[in-house]
Amino acid sequence: MVAEEKGILKDSVMGLMARGIRPILEEEGHIKDVLARIVVEMIKREWPQHWPNMLTELEGLTKNGEVQTELVMFILLRLAEDVVTFQALPAQRRRDIQGTMTQNMEKLFTFMLGILGDSVHRYQQLKNDPAQKDKCQGLCRVALAALNTLAGYIDWVSINHITADDCKLLQMLCLLLEEEELQVETAECLLIAVSRKGKLEDRVPLLTLFGDNPMQCIMAAAQKAHSEGLQEKRYVFLKRLCQVLCALGGQLCTLTASPDVQVTIPVTFGKYLSSLREFTVHPSQFLRSSTLVTWGSLFRHDILSKDAALKAIIPEFLRISMRNTLKNGFPSKNDSPSCEYSRLDYDDDEDFISCFNCFKALIGDVIRAACRLDPFSGFHLADEWLQFQLSAPVDPGMNCSNAGDGLCSLLSPSFLEWEAMSFFCECVFRQVLRSPPKEEQLVSQGVKLLERVLIYETRDPLILSCVLSLLSVLLPLVRYTNNFMPAVLTKLFSALTFELGNKGPWRRSLKNVRRHASSSIIKICRDSPDLVVPHLDLLCTQAMLVGENERLSHFEKSGVLEAQVLISNQFKDYELQRGFLVQLVGPAVSVWMSEEVQRAISGPNELISYLGIETLRSGKEKDEDPYRKNRSKLLLCLSAMESVLKRTCRPSDPAEAEAGGFVVGYSSSGAPIYRNSCSEVVLKLLDSLLSLVRAFNSLYLPEIIHKMGDVYVSCLDMLESEKKNILGRPQTLQDVYDSPVYKSTEERMQGFFCTCYDTCWQILGALGSSLQQDYYSLPGLAIRLVNSAFCNLNNMPDFRLRAMMRHFVRPMILSCPPEKYDSLLIPILGPLFTFLYQRLSQKWLTSEEDYSDLNTESTEIMEVELVRLLTREMVDLIGECAALLYTASPAVYPMSS
């Protein structure tokens, strides 16, 4: 197109905008958008070289009326988007245009601010005149267009333009917050401006928003919007205003912390904190969450945290946090003012719970930060709340549990209170009691609380779980008393053997409280063994009673065994600990070595018969499973072996280790060679373990699958919970806590196989790191592993192979001494990697599979995801192997190979 034609086209378009367009309220939006796009395309090609007076022409166009002014704002916004945001033109042209825009930015900003100020001024004069309604709407449209255009520029122009003329733009935006029709767009502009990065000295003028008038405008606008109730537009405005306050707080934290700029704490800092507090108490979960990062930054700030206004507001913030940790506001309910807001912010209850859990983790960090500054207030509030809950009656409400009459569910009022209270107390007590010296007053109060928690009794599993959390966090106070540890152990073992009083199937709430108690016992023995050692007899006596209780699962029994192993590490005497461990796992060894179990693990058919899998083919459910004891014995033996192997350790102090008889010699470099107290008992069971693994792998033989049928195949399948985790769809606890642990014998068998497989791989993976030379020096180890752990891999599914790679193969490689690479690793890894490469290559090449399941799409996605995960495991492992070989012998295994 020649220059003359370009000029005709430009004049035609400008004339069309000046005279050929309808009034602002009548013209269609898409017409105005297209006209703006056309002009922008011409600007991108002609300005500034061939259209030097473009800005002057646009400015003249605004004198024709509101619709032309709106169009000019659209043009300037689209130009900024194409040139700066999307960069939708060649690099050289973009640099030319952006450079020219930068040169004229002062003129552009003056022009846009003038349009905004003029349209707002005229709008405010006419808005109360009913006869001027259309005129007002047109002026409002122009003001909105000007605000949107400013928002497109504020993000990238020099910050000096934003703060020019004593921050005229910011002052104007603050005043516009009171105009309801312009509030959201004004807050957007303000947010972009306050969030600007750049040189610290350039950002100092932004703190003028801490002045009396700006702060008053912000507070008044927020209060008015909240007082009008829930309206979606007002709610969006509140969100933006909250973000403005938080961004302003972020700027203050950054600038006051820097030694390069001299910034003092604003006089209105107390007003700012009050404004932030108003958003923290708002019913909206989103607004509460939005303020937490700012509160945390303020409480951790070296300078601001010492300010009297911030210290004064800490007790109030902690009291607000107490209520905010209470889980309410579900979108599906109407029992809280938060519910209405949640329906706007969350898709469903599951989405709400996921976000609430993130909020809870964040508020926990902020509560701890606040308690560093004011431990007494936090402790007093936690003390007050805990004592109230201990004396309050349990109210299951309308959402009572299915597990029994009068028991709470996850939505019961009492449990929600207990859950929130225990979380708040945990945050406070952990921070206050973390490091000495402790205040005597806090210690004495804490000891009294511990005593009240110990004597508190409840038959509700959910509340008992909260009590256990409180007991764990108050445990450090036992050091300040002489007679509480026996009561603590008795309380924990009582929870470990907790019963609901019915003979029905185990509920997950019962299982969870027992597991919580078991974990608490292990944690005490791991973190505070010196408190438990004087009461070892009590621990062993209680553990013996647990072992004799047939109503308890292998998990509870292995948990107390694990706790005893941890305490045995405090003996710091090899022979004494070895004898203790031999006696401890003696019953499990007897079961392992019994003729019945040895026959059962000799092959797949014998194992099927021993576990009772054949009964599944009949399709009949039985109230009492006669083979359940066999499965429990096998699980208990595996768990005992794993506990001893993973928890037994030598003294960390080399001198203590040598004095205790843990050193058996020294390497050529002079490093001590240690022995493990559990080597004797673990290696005695190694052949039995390898036989069991071989039998497990053989369960996938085609002839076994064909003989046993579809029910058997489903028993060997992956658990539904694991499938959901792999697909990124974790199951919400809300759905499963009150259901039976297993719904059928088939599901119970599936859980058994998954647990056994994982435990076997973890034991094999831990052998190397725990036993070192005692394990790697075993004669014929490579052949023994190939004939057991690596047999029948062709028929095993990908999820079993992935577990084997993660829990067994990788730990074995990483803990293997270099001198055993040739005799152990290479004979195993060469065939293993070849097999995996061929298998995965074939699967990646296969584009279509014949899935017989009804939910073909879900099955196919799962298969592809498993192949991807297994491939990643293999590639990562090959890389680690290469690095190890190069580190051991760079000359023999150069990195290039």
pLDDT tens sequence across 443-474: 889 999 999 999 999 999 999 999 999 999 99
With respect to residue 4, please indicate whether it lies within any of the assigned structural domains: yes
Given 536, 568, 600, the domain boundary residue is 568
How do residues 326-343 score in pLDDT, each as one tens digit?
999 999 999 899 999 999
Burial 470-495 (b: 16+ CB within 10 A, else e): bbbbbbbbbbeeeebbeebbebbbeb
pLDDT the model gives residue 125: 92
- Mean of the per-residue pLDDT values of the chain: 90
pLDDT exceeds 60 at position 505: no
* Domain match, 597 and 743 both: yes
pLDDT-based confidence at 58, cuts 50/70/90? very high
Given 568, 594, 610, the domain boundary residue is 568
With respect to residue 274, please indicate whether it lies within any of the assigned structural domains: no
How do residues 664-677 score in pLDDT, each as one tens digit?
988 888 889 999 99
Q: Is the peptide bond before 797 cis (omega within 30 degrees of 0)?
A: no
pLDDT the model gives residue 853: 46
pLDDT the model gives residue 851: 45
Question: Residue 100's domain spans which residues?
Answer: 1-157
* Domain match, 128 and 18 both: yes
Q: What percent of the chain has pLDDT over 70?
A: 93
pLDDT exceeds 80 at position 613: yes
pLDDT the model gives residue 88: 82
The stretch 337-364 carries a mean pLDDT of: 94
Q: What percent of the chain has pLDDT over 90?
A: 74
With respect to residue 148, please indicate whether it lies within any of the assigned structural domains: yes
pLDDT the model gives residue 670: 84
pLDDT the model gives residue 854: 42
Can you give the three-state secondary structure of 439-492, one letter per residue?
CHHHHHHHHHHHHHHHHCCCCCHHHHHHHHHHHHHHHHHHHHCCCCHHHHHHHH
Cβ atoms within 10 A of the Cβ of 807, count? 20
* Domain match, 686 and 544 both: no
The stretch 187-195 carries a mean pLDDT of: 96
pLDDT the model gives residue 745: 77
* Domain match, 628 and 493 both: no
CA gap 611, 566 in Å, rounded: 32
Q: Which residue has the higher pLDDT, 67 or 856?
A: 67
Return the SS3 of 665. strand
pLDDT exceeds 80 at position 381: yes
Return the SS3 of 717. coil
pLDDT exceeds 60 at position 504: no
CA gap 386, 840 in Å, rounded: 56
With respect to residue 815, please indicate whether it lies within any of the assigned structural domains: no
Count of domains forming the chain: 4
* Domain match, 667 and 607 both: yes
Side chain identity at 284, as an amino acid letter? S
With respect to residue 596, please indicate whether it lies within any of the assigned structural domains: yes
Q: Which residue has the higher pLDDT, 228 or 256?
A: 256
The stretch 251-277 carries a mean pLDDT of: 94
Q: Look at 165-169, 425-429, 491-495, 851-855 and tell me which has the smallest mean pLDDT.
A: 851-855
CA gap 102, 84 in Å, rounded: 11
* Domain match, 492 and 517 both: yes
pLDDT the model gives residue 435: 60
Query: In 729-784, where do the E strands start and end?
Result: none
* Domain match, 555 and 658 both: no
Check: CB of residue 742 under 8 Å from CB of residue 505. Answer: yes
pLDDT-based confidence at 892, cuts 50/70/90? low
Geometric angle at alpha carbon 553, from 547 and 556, rounded to 5°: 65
With respect to residue 497, please indicate whether it lies within any of the assigned structural domains: yes
pLDDT-based confidence at 545, cuts 50/70/90? very high
CA gap 169, 250 in Å, rounded: 20
* Domain match, 86 and 143 both: yes
pLDDT-based confidence at 500, cuts 50/70/90? confident
* Domain match, 648 and 717 both: yes
* Phi, psi of 778, deg, nearest 5: -65, 135
Q: Which of 789, 794, 823 lies closest to 805, judged by CA?
A: 789
pLDDT-based confidence at 891, cuts 50/70/90? low
Question: Mean pLDDT: which of 4-13, 131-140, 392-401 is highest?
Answer: 131-140
Return the SS3 of 199. coil
* Domain match, 554 and 588 both: no
pLDDT exceeds 90 at position 76: yes
Given 537, 568, 599, the domain boundary residue is 568
How do residues 831-866 score in pLDDT, each as one tens digit?
999 999 999 998 888 745 544 444 455 677 888 889
pLDDT the model gives residue 681: 93
* Domain match, 75 and 123 both: yes
CA gap 190, 209 in Å, rounded: 10
With respect to residue 800, please indicate whether it lies within any of the assigned structural domains: no
* Domain match, 554 and 417 both: no
The β-bridge partners of 672 are: 666
Q: Look at 81-85, 346-350, 500-504, 639-643 and tell me which has the smallest mean pLDDT.
A: 500-504
CA gap 354, 361 in Å, rounded: 11
List own/partner pairs for 807-812 with CB under 8 A and 24 or more apart: 807/758, 807/761, 807/762, 807/764, 807/765, 808/761, 808/762, 808/764, 808/765, 809/765, 809/877, 810/765, 810/873, 810/877, 810/880, 811/765, 811/766, 811/768, 811/769, 812/764, 812/765, 812/767, 812/768
The tokens describing 797, both together, are 């599914």
The stretch 746-773 carries a mean pLDDT of: 93
The stretch 79-99 carries a mean pLDDT of: 92
With respect to residue 794, please indicate whether it lies within any of the assigned structural domains: no
The stretch 362-379 carries a mean pLDDT of: 96
